[in-house]
Amino acid sequence: MNIEKKQVLEKWTEFTLSNDFGMSVSVLDFGGIITKIMTPDRNGNFENIVLGYSNYQDYQSNPNYFGALIGRVAGRIEGASFKLNEKTYSLAANNEDHHLHGGPSGFHQILWEVSLFQTAEEVGLTLTHKSADMDGGYPGNVEIKVTYTLNNHNQLILEYAAKSDQTTPLTLTNHAYFNLSGNLKNTVHDHQVTIDSSRFVELDTDLIPTGKLLDVADTTFDFRGGRVLSDGFNNDFEQNKIADGGYDHYFIFDHTEEYQAILQDPVSGRVMLVKTNEPGVVMYTSNGLAEGLPLAECSSRKHLGVCFETQSSPASLHHEGFPTVILNAGENYQKQTVFTFRLED
């Protein structure tokens, strides 16, 4: 197990966590951004499996949220406002008329305090931040702690903890774009996905939840038995078309399987297993990713990565029947998502 530190910009440090089997994860203290994950393919070649910029300066704006920690609320808040305890709170509208991923000064834009730890079996870092009352328009002084742990089972464990002195919306996630082909050799068209979910959230043309939950049966959103992502890229199903030829939808987990999501690349043999205590996940297939951004291995293009944003649903602020994002005053927020990397048998 090993931790390496590298100063990448004047105020930013990149920490690389490595286990005894060659897997490594690189994280910035700025935005808690995962810049690189190195894992082997079936031939033993270690390659990067996430999207990241070739120039660290590009993370300063990072409109695609590559690898970033997201908060206070992951996802879109309709109308950039919400009502809580009979009071209406206004937020920054940074996605048309709506509020996205905590707004322009969200957690992806802050410099986190970092502490490191290492044992014989795991290595990691803990990121901490105090978000003041009305920061970004949200009520409550919130203390946040996020821990990234890499162990010798080739697991990356993300643990989120928070506490607020006022009742407030909060749901945190990480926005890594995965591509198991290695070094972005291919798009994710042929990646196979399994999701333990029989319901997903219907979106309108602004990608805002309508308030309806749809059954996945007989649609390109039925991943219970596994399917390739390209099934939804060139499909006439209205929800795929709304998302610009792909997926940007919240799936509610049934929690009937050991893993809530599985991503597989048949060419490289890489498999990523997702296990979480979150109620659901936004799967985003980089439908809106602009062409030509200078990434570490190539230029960006549509469908180059897939995100698994495990979280609750901000739609719960405006509609009944969705997993709530409300954290009560004094309550402990504790969420965990484990990404396990292995090779096909």
Domain tally, the chain: 1
Write down the pTM of the prediction.
0.98
What residues are paired with 148 via a beta bridge? Answer: 125, 158
Q: State the Cα–Cα distance between residues 238 and 256, nearest whole angstrom.
A: 28
Question: pLDDT tens, 95-137?
Answer: 999 999 999 999 999 999 999 999 999 999 999 999 999 999 9
Structure tokens at 66: 């590559």
**98 carries an active-site annotation:** no
Question: pLDDT tens, 245-303?
Answer: 999 999 999 999 999 999 999 999 999 999 999 999 999 999 999 999 999 999 999 99
47, 78, 278, 309: the catalytic one is 309
Sign of CA dihedral 68, 72, 75, 81: negative
Asked whether residue 50 is domain-assigned, the answer is yes
Give the chain's length.
Answer: 345
Work out the average pLDDT over 35-61. 97
Question: pLDDT tens, 168-200?
Answer: 999 999 999 999 999 999 999 999 999 999 999
State the pLDDT at residue 74: 98
Structure tokens at 315: 């739609």
Asked whether residue 222 is domain-assigned, the answer is no
- Decide: helix, strand or coil at residue 301: coil
**309 carries an active-site annotation:** yes
Query: How many whole angstroms from its chain centre is CA 47?
Result: 20
Asked whether residue 290 is domain-assigned, the answer is yes
Asked whether residue 215 is domain-assigned, the answer is no
DSSP code of residue 245: S
175, 191, 249, 303: the catalytic one is 175
Asked whether residue 196 is domain-assigned, the answer is no
pLDDT band at 234 (very low <50, low <70, confident <90, very high): confident
Q: State the Cα–Cα distance between residues 299 and 306, nearest whole angstrom.
A: 16
What domain range includes position 57? 2-185+283-343
Q: Residue 52 sits in a domain of what CATH number?
A: 2.70.98.10
Asked whether residue 278 is domain-assigned, the answer is no
Count CB atoms within 10 A of the CB of residue 101. Answer: 26
Give start and end residues of each alpha helix (H) in the chain: 238-242
Asked whether residue 20 is domain-assigned, the answer is yes
- Decide: helix, strand or coil at residue 248: strand
